[in-house]
Structure 1
Amino acid sequence: MYLKKIAAIISGKLIGNNIKINNFSINSKNINNNCIFIAIHGKYFDGHNFIPEAINHGAKALIVHKYVSVYIPQIIVNNTTVSLGKISAWKRSKYKHCVIGITGTTGKTSLKEMVVSILQKKYSILYTIGNMNNYIGVPLTLLKLNNNYQYAVIEIGGSSCKELIYLSKIVKPNISIISNIDIAHLQGFKNLFTIIYSKKQIFYYTKNHGVIIFNDDDCNQKNITNNIHNKTIMNFSLYNKNATVYASNIQIHTYVIKFYLHALQENMYINLNLIGGLHHVSNALAAVTIIIALNNNMTLQNIFHGLTDFQPIKGRLYPIFIKKKQIILHDAYNANPKSVHTAINILKNISGYKILVIGDMLELGLQSRYYHMQIGKIISLAHLNAVLRIGTYTKNIIHNNTFYSKHFTNFTDLIHKLLFILKNKKHYTILFKGSRKNNMDTLIKMFLKELPK
């Protein structure tokens, strides 16, 4: 791709030679062959400050919002972030194969990874890596698109209506799915109505004659397909036998989930090697519905192996085994009322001594206190043995003296108390749950370091 072409796509001014570019990067340390560095100007950083480093690492050209005195070509634009989106939209428009768009309040990443686990048995796939599901990550993923990939599986997240519309418009999926809709990111969305409206945008921007898939068990999706035209509608359900894909005979054990999966007038017995509950079954049903929508001759055997080979994802009810019957559940990738409720219910149903280490749920705006108090009520009814709290909003949420509960202001004191509680305990589970900005990852690492070997 030549710089003149890139400049035309992003309405920029090229200064320097019209060289060919093969790769794009916004990370000055991660520069590949024939790479153009896009100097993103973010809230907490300015990529223009890293231009010398990008050049030292081999950048062949730049996209900037102001002229810089360098010896390599540069394209000057009004806004580098907008330009990133424009290039990715162009790349998407040239892609000839199927793009799968996945959104929802919770379960997006697990669902995406299940779909990938199934498709990778037969196909070459581009898919969202890690948490690259926002207004920067989605365009960066799409920039890697080429027609050697037979499918693209793109996770779409966001903390505002504007962001979800923007990303849905860029991705333009052939198949789209909403895993579920619930309260999250109220700081940006303000209310549930706006969340529902925002998630629905992925259906509007799904290509004509494409497929849209909704969760039949989700009360917030009951009318979500209204006013959607020229698209095939499919659904999945834990209970509704009229759904495209549904389950029966669900058995949830501590380390495995078993159920019959029904699809295409056939059924198969599935074992998911996961700690958790019904949400994992729902994700599996959603993944299979996507595979059916592809209509690509994937066999039930392919689906079976894709699901049974699926492994837990770090930060999402990820088990860390200390010793036999001693386990940490790392569920601190993020937190909202629905995911916290789900995690507590899972802990509640595990045998042995049960400890919850909980941090704040962030980005809930003016309703933060209300939702933390609701979680406090759920905790009080969960028959746990100990609850250790850290953060601002968790300070006053427990009003029940039937179990040990204490609030902490620092990790060190919390870890010391946790170690004291665990003395002589042979059988226990510790659930760590909280929003990412609570730095629960750091807390877990510190705890594991202090834990007697």
Structure 2
Amino acid sequence: MNLEQLHQLFLAHPTICTDTRKISKDCLFFALKGPNFNGNEFADRALENGAAYALVDEEKFNTSEKHILVEDVLTTLQKLSTYHRKQSKAKVVSLTGSNGKTTSKELIHSVLSQSYNTIATLGNLNNHIGVPLTLLSITNETEIAIVEMGANHQKEIDFLCGIAQPDYGYITNFGKAHLEGFGGIEGVIKGKSELYDHLIENNKHIFMNADDPIQLEKLGSYVKKIGYSTENPQYFNINYVDADPFVQFTFEGLKVKTQLIGRYNFTNCCAAVVIGKYFNVPTAKIKAALESYQPKNNRSQIIEKNGLEIILDAYNANPSSMKVAIENLKGMQSDFKTLILGDMFELGEDAKKEHQGIVDLATSLGFSNVFLVGENFSRTQTDFHQFDSYDSFESYLKGNVPRKGTVLIKGSRGMALERTLDLF
């Protein structure tokens, strides 16, 4: 079966499943492989559970006309998604960056969906499997597809661009994330910039933060760039007001009051504004979309519980996002402030230095009620409370729960610090 024939089969069965626990009737099952599983072994179960066909890449599992043997299931999924994207009239807006990708994607989706039939990456399915699945969710009605791209090493963004072939792109920022895989901050800049490199090479449009010196340097005199700025009149002006706790800003004479905490979310809002303006979404609808958006999935959520104001930002963390979250709490009006910080992962040889840097920052800002959780934080030089595991922290906190003020909970995904909520 060639790619065109497979695409026709997909159009007849436009739901893709890769997990037999989530099979929907008449779907196509792609038997993907992982470090600890072989999807081929579950192909028969997928068919029994209602899949129309199962794509496999091992001959011994190709046992009926309902099985489709391909050379490599993952590669086939990726090629099918690119073919489908080429057949579609939808415009593809791709974004990447060290921090704020998913929030920016959700905000852009919220704005553009005011005027267009829009789809976007579900959650953070932004890798070599998630990007193809997003592209395959494009329908005949889709006008704009917003595709988030994640990466932890060089050439990954370049590879994803080859799959998605974006018409537009935006990089949120360049921060200290995945330092181990990228090889330091310069590696991060090089790796994330692969999106801009791809767009420039193909003469496509780029959205940019014109207040970011790295982006200005990267894009130079490139003509097809659309930027926002708080100060440069050459670009679309958006003015920051404050964030105590929610971000407020103005543009074109309108004041926008969001439900997002932290100044660090200001640039995420700016991207949604400038992209909305480019696509001619009415200004009033941009304002309405941003004001109605509510963060979820442990990202900068404010939760009121037993007299406490809890900032739950436990979806992920790196030195850059940790720094701005702590600085944001410092600037908030509160009678008592508590930090609960979990280890930051994928920092490689920089782990010791970066964790100590966060501790030093908290000290310099005058925080006193600080709980540090994880092996890396437990090794830092400090007088703060330190715990080498979540279990030891939980045991302590049960008898020492803060009773007032504001609590910031932040750590890498692997720390799962949202568990702390049950203790308050």
TM-score, normalised relative to structure 2: 0.92
**Aligned equivalents of 2:256 and 2:143: distance in 1?**
26
**Aligned equivalents of 1:20 and 1:233: distance in 2?**
39
**CA distances 1:221-259 after superposition (whole Å, capped 9, x unpaired):** 23211485xx611112233333224325x12222x3222
Out of 413, 429, 448, the position equivalent to 2:406 is 429
Q: Which moved more, 1:70-79 or 1:100-109?
A: 70-79
What is the match of residue 317 of structure 1?
Answer: 300
Secondary structure at 2:375 match in 1: coil
**Aligned equivalents of 1:233 and 1:104: distance in 2?**
17
Asked whether the equivalents of residues 377 and 388 of structure 2 are also in contact (C-alpha less than 8 Å), the reply is no
Q: Does 1:238 align with 2:238?
A: no
Q: Which moved more, 1:75-84 or 1:175-184?
A: 75-84
**Aligned equivalents of 1:125 and 1:18: distance in 2?**
21
How large is the Cα RMSD of the aligned pairs? 2.4
The Cα of 1:430 is off from its aligned counterpart by 1.9
What is the match of residue 12 of structure 1?
Answer: none
Out of 33, 40, 52, the position equivalent to 2:44 is 52
What is the match of residue 14 of structure 1?
Answer: none
The Cα of 1:175 is off from its aligned counterpart by 1.5
What is the match of residue 210 of structure 1?
Answer: 204
What is the match of residue 109 of structure 1?
Answer: 102
What is the match of residue 133 of structure 1?
Answer: 126
Asked whether the equivalents of residues 22 and 33 of structure 1 are also in contact (C-alpha less than 8 Å), the reply is no
Asked whether the equivalents of residues 40 and 48 of structure 1 are also in contact (C-alpha less than 8 Å), the reply is yes
What is the match of residue 271 of structure 1?
Answer: 257
**Aligned equivalents of 1:432 and 1:92: distance in 2?**
40
What is the match of residue 387 of structure 2?
Answer: 408
Which amino acid in the other structure matches residue 270 of structure 1?
Answer: V
**Aligned equivalents of 1:62 and 1:418: distance in 2?**
49
What is the match of residue 159 of structure 2?
Answer: 166
Out of 246, 253, 257, the position equivalent to 2:244 is 253
Question: For residues 387 and 173 of structure 1, do their structure 2 counterparts lie closer, same or farther at Cα, with a shift above 3 Å needed?
Answer: same
Identity percentage over the alignment?
Answer: 29
Mapping of residues 93-104 of structure 1, within 5 Å? 93-104=86-97
**Aligned equivalents of 1:227 and 1:74: distance in 2?**
52
The Cα of 1:18 is off from its aligned counterpart by 12
What is the match of residue 32 of structure 2?
Answer: 40
Secondary structure at 2:127 match in 1: coil
Question: For residues 336 and 122 of structure 1, do their structure 2 counterparts lie closer, same or farther at Cα, with a shift above 3 Å needed?
Answer: same
Secondary structure at 1:29 match in 2: helix
**Aligned equivalents of 2:212 and 2:35: distance in 1?**
35
Asked whether the equivalents of residues 93 and 167 of structure 2 are also in contact (C-alpha less than 8 Å), the reply is yes
**Aligned equivalents of 2:413 and 2:250: distance in 1?**
35
Asked whether the equivalents of residues 7 and 75 of structure 1 are also in contact (C-alpha less than 8 Å), the reply is no
Asked whether the equivalents of residues 28 and 54 of structure 2 are also in contact (C-alpha less than 8 Å), the reply is yes
What is the match of residue 439 of structure 1?
Answer: 416
**CA distances 1:55-111 after superposition (whole Å, capped 9, x unpaired):** 222112222220205334333333222221111111111111211111111111111
**Aligned equivalents of 2:244 and 2:65: distance in 1?**
60
Q: Does 1:338 align with 2:320?
A: yes
**CA distances 1:327-349 after superposition (whole Å, capped 9, x unpaired):** 22211111111100011112222
What is the match of residue 265 of structure 2?
Answer: 280
Which amino acid in the other structure matches residue 268 of structure 2?
Answer: N
Secondary structure at 1:183 match in 2: coil
The Cα of 1:382 is off from its aligned counterpart by 2.3
Which amino acid in the other structure matches residue 52 of structure 2?
Answer: K
Question: For residues 267 and 34 of structure 1, do their structure 2 counterparts lie closer, same or farther at Cα, with a shift above 3 Å needed?
Answer: same
The Cα of 1:112 is off from its aligned counterpart by 0.9
**CA distances 1:393-438 after superposition (whole Å, capped 9, x unpaired):** 1112243x4xxx2222343432242243336x3x222212111112
Asked whether the equivalents of residues 314 and 330 of structure 1 are also in contact (C-alpha less than 8 Å), the reply is no
Asked whether the equivalents of residues 114 and 281 of structure 2 are also in contact (C-alpha less than 8 Å), the reply is no
**Aligned equivalents of 1:18 and 1:408: distance in 2?**
51
Question: For residues 109 and 20 of structure 1, do their structure 2 counterparts lie closer, same or farther at Cα, with a shift above 3 Å needed?
Answer: closer
The Cα of 1:126 is off from its aligned counterpart by 1.0
What is the match of residue 396 of structure 2?
Answer: 417
Secondary structure at 1:82 match in 2: helix
Which amino acid in the other structure matches residue 332 of structure 1?
Answer: A
What is the match of residue 13 of structure 1?
Answer: none
Q: Which moved more, 1:32-41 or 1:44-53?
A: 44-53
Q: Does 1:307 align with 2:290?
A: yes
Out of 14, 21, 29, the position equivalent to 1:29 is 21
What is the match of residue 214 of structure 2?
Answer: 220
Asked whether the equivalents of residues 126 and 151 of structure 1 are also in contact (C-alpha less than 8 Å), the reply is yes
Which amino acid in the other structure matches residue 420 of structure 1?
Answer: G
Asked whether the equivalents of residues 160 and 189 of structure 1 are also in contact (C-alpha less than 8 Å), the reply is yes
Deviation >6 Å, runs of 4+ = none
Question: For residues 386 and 44 of structure 1, do their structure 2 counterparts lie closer, same or farther at Cα, with a shift above 3 Å needed?
Answer: farther
Asked whether the equivalents of residues 95 and 101 of structure 2 are also in contact (C-alpha less than 8 Å), the reply is yes
Give aligned pairs, total: 420
Which protein has the bigger helix share?
2
Q: Which moved more, 1:179-188 or 1:332-341?
A: 179-188
